[in-house]
Structure 1
Amino acid sequence: MADWAGFRETAGRRVGGFGRVALGDADGVRRAAVVLCVAERDGELGVLVIKRANRGRNPGQWALPGGRAEDGETLQETGLRELREELGLEIAEADVLGMLDDFPAASGFAITPVVAVAQGAGEPVPDAREVRSVHHVPLRVLAADGAVNWVDRPDGGRLLQMRLGPGMTIHAPTGAMLWQFREVVLLGRDVRVADLIQPDWTRN
């Protein structure tokens, strides 16, 4: 059986002690939130990753459940609403462990990652209008050495790839948030992600 109590205690302490970087509401910056949702499958804890529907925003791309903030919402409320709308999962505010760094996406959104647990929330039921498929990535896979790959670019930069399974290579911004979750929450390290390179095809 999954060690929910142990994960909640460790993850809550690490996220709570992490001095996250929050971006200001500058002119032209749109706000969004995603959820790094930890769920159980076959007795193992993992993060839920989705593949977007073939039509709509970011068609066919790997993503975390989430979307644009609506007027009057906190970013935590945005994340939980989007999780409910996209995957049918109801999570209480008490199941939110905290937030990681805002990510300045090239699309013009400042994305806030919300770390939460879906203990007892049941199986996700994806909304086919927005989600093609749902994938449970075990925490042991995310924490493994082979999950992180850096690609040297001709311009001298390095491109992050999160390699989480066959055909599952994820770049920034989603890959950046998964990497920070891995480093901060799973491994207890302090890393920043705002300057990670985003492939051109993510800029929409």
Structure 2
Amino acid sequence: MTEDEARLRDALAQTSLALPRPLSDLELPFKLDRLIAPLTMNSLRPAAVLAPVLRRGHDLSMLFTVRSAQLRSHSGQISFPGGRRDPEDADAVANALREAHEEVGLCPDCVEVLGYLDDYPTLSRYRITPVVGLVEGDPDLTVNPDEVAEVFEVPIKIILEPNSFERKILSREGINLPFYELNWGPHRIWGATAGMLWDLAQKAARA
């Protein structure tokens, strides 16, 4: 096992789906109640994403999608495969694996679930559970063009390094919302996706 894989596994070893799930506070400034009423925080709609880690020999990288320009929300932005939970989804893992199969054709049986990142609340009123999964070799991907414009990878070594991230502030309706950004080649990863990566980097640093 490589050092990077060991760090990744150690970072996720103590995570689980057991309730109550930890909640990221990156998008929860003190005045968020002007955007999301406090009583609705417990009724955010469940969703999940899969953060696929591809292992090719000693090299590990994480797979990302660029959302199709045809999508009504967050078009052209970088994300993980994922979406809202359907009634038939038993849990966040089933939710994430189903969405990954629908969006990029990733075989659910090819994914070894390593663990979970903190739930991420969004201003669109979703509570996203990030599922981190390991995939051996080069998966046979079939990208759904209605949802995904392209896929690309970032070495896990970059993601596990906190210095890879830049902290920025977005002003929205008079509220300053902190967020993280990671740039890789032409790709700008920011918002919820970068927030999840930052959580992973912090877990790795503490492991």
Shorter-chain TM-score: what band? 0.7 to 0.9
Return 88-97 or 133-142, whichever deviates more: 88-97
TM-score by length of 2: 0.75
TM-score by length of 1: 0.76
Q: Higher relative contact order at CA 8 Å, sep ≥6: structure 1 or structure 2?
A: 2
CA distance in 2 between counterparts of 1:10 and 1:158 reads 30
Q: Tell me which amino acid in the other structure corresponds to 1:170.
A: I
**TM-fit CA distance, 1:6:** 7.0
2:162–2:201 contact (8 Å) kept in structure 1: no
Ranges in structure 2 where 5+ consecutive residues have no aligned partner: 25-39
Q: Tell me which amino acid in the other structure corresponds to 1:151.
A: K
Matched, 1:102 2:119: yes
Change (3 A) 1:92 1:166: same
Change (3 A) 1:76 1:5: farther
Q: Within 5 Å, give how 1:1-204 maps onto structure 2.
A: 3=1, 7=5, 9-18=6-15, 21=22, 26-27=42-43, 29-40=44-55, 44-56=59-71, 57-73=73-89, 74-92=91-109, 95-120=112-137, 122-144=139-161, 146-151=163-168, 159-184=178-203, 187-189=204-206
Change (3 A) 1:138 1:77: same
Deviations 1:65-85 (A, max 9, x none): 111100131111000011111
CA distance in 2 between counterparts of 1:101 and 1:168 reads 24
Ranges in structure 1 where 5+ consecutive residues have no aligned partner: 191-204
Return 118-127 or 148-157, whichever deviates more: 148-157
% of aligned pairs identical? 26
CA distance in 1 between counterparts of 2:160 and 2:201 reads 6
**TM-fit CA distance, 1:168:** 2.1
Change (3 A) 1:168 1:102: same
CA distance in 2 between counterparts of 1:6 and 1:179 reads 16
**TM-fit CA distance, 1:100:** 1.3
- Structure 1 runs of 4+ aligned residues shifted over 4 Å read 3-6, 22-25, 152-158
RMSD value, Cα: 3.1
1:41–1:136 contact (8 Å) kept in structure 2: no
Change (3 A) 1:157 1:42: farther
Deviations 1:126-180 (A, max 9, x none): 1111000101101122234542112357889573332231332222211101111
Higher strand proportion: 2
1:161–1:169 contact (8 Å) kept in structure 2: no
Partner SS state of residue 118, structure 1: strand
Q: Tell me which amino acid in the other structure corresponds to 2:205.
A: G
Change (3 A) 1:22 1:32: same
